[in-house]
Amino acid sequence: MRGVGSPPPGKGDPAGTVVICTYDRSLLLAGALESLRSQEWEEDSPFEILVVDDGPGEETRRAASRGGARYVPAAGEGIAAARNVGIRESRGEWLAFFDDDQRASPGWLRELLRVSREREAPVVAGARRLVPLERGISLPSHPRLRLYLGEEDWGESPRPLGPEELPNTGNVLVRKEVFRRVGGFDPSFIEGGEDTDFFTRARRQGVPLWAAPSARAEHLVGPGKVTPSWWKRRAQRGGAAEARIRRKGGGRVSLLTGLFRWGFLGSASLLLAGWKGLLGRREEALYRVFLFRHFLGYARRVPALLPGPAGGKGGGAPSFRKRGGGEGVSW
């Protein structure tokens, strides 16, 4: 039984909303929507699909319509702001985030809901497996590199996430009450890190985070994500985001901290192994360089964080709470 799509008029609110934030990727979006409309479902109330378009265009609007989704344009202010539009526009008790470059397994949403109910878990992360978008794309086998590409392997059985584990907004189910408690995504995270920041805040406020390994999705990796320039940007943006998140949480932000955590690990491991020892081990060398690039991103961000208040300028996240007897949004 299909239970994901726009509910017929007059049928009341859906049980929840699957939110896809997108930007000028209508072909990928169409495949994601097809996988969502093919979900196995045994619930009385369906989920709706909401497409938030951060670069409003007619092709994306048409893809959303053909895929049975509700379409909402955003203001082009970045992924965090687009996710907040999705929160504000969503209906029902649950909100699931899904990426446009993914394909959901038939039982994806059912399994997220099952774990949420059985474990009384307000946040449940699904698993993601990397799949090449095109022939000829070679994906790394190194587990850490695959993690940085977006792979999520939670094992075999539902479990609480460990202290160093956080969900990814490409495949996660969140009860709407969590946003009223924690707030929304911080829109000042323009180049990524907004999901790490959000779920870090949720954990600090005592929100249980769970994993549902059976809620599987395929994450399509295009040629642009296996280039040296992409790895460089990914590492340095990740380091900059880590510095900001540590500062927002009251943690110590210093070059010494970053050097120990990332720069020392990356550079010292290269020296100890020796370049000769890494010949023929391209992925290990790439990982070590990645660590050092991460430190550089961290180090470049630290000076801007030290003089100012926690979180830097524009670091406030919107809060979502009940207002006037109903569910509203306070910015």
pLDDT tens for 202-235 read 999 999 999 999 999 999 999 999 898 999 999 8
Say yes or no to pLDDT of 127 above 70: yes
In a domain, 205, yes or no: yes
281 has a pLDDT exceeding 80:
no
Same domain, 121 and 201: yes
Whether 66 and 149 map to the same domain: the answer is: yes
**Are 246 and 204 in a shared domain?**
no
What average pLDDT does this structure show over 257-284? 53
Is residue 2 a part of any domain in this protein? no
Determine which of 24-28, 160-164, 303-307 has the lowest per-residue pLDDT on average. Answer: 303-307
Q: Same domain, yes or no, for 133 and 239?
A: no
Range 286-307 average pLDDT = 73
pLDDT at 313 over 60: no
Say if CB 39 and CB 18 are below 8 A apart: no
pLDDT of res. 263: 47
Whether 11 maps to a domain, the answer reads no
Per-residue confidence (pLDDT) for residue 326, from 0 to 100: 35
Same domain assignment for residues 218 and 234: no
CA separation for the pair 146, 153 (Å, rounded):
10
More confident of the two residues 66 and 293? 66
Tell me the three state secondary structure of residue 140: coil
Task: Give the mean pLDDT of 252-269.
Answer: 49
> What's the rounded Cα separation, in Å, for the pair 215 and 158?
10
Shared domain check, 248 and 100: no
Identify whether the C-beta of residue 138 lies closer than 8 Å to the C-beta of residue 211: no
User: Which ranges of the chain does DSSP label H, i.e. alpha helix?
Assistant: 26-37, 58-66, 79-89, 108-118, 143-148, 176-182, 194-204, 228-248, 255-258, 264-273, 275-278, 282-305
Q: What share of the chain is helix, strand, coil (3-state, %, to 5)?
A: 40, 20, 40
Domain annotation covers residue 197: yes
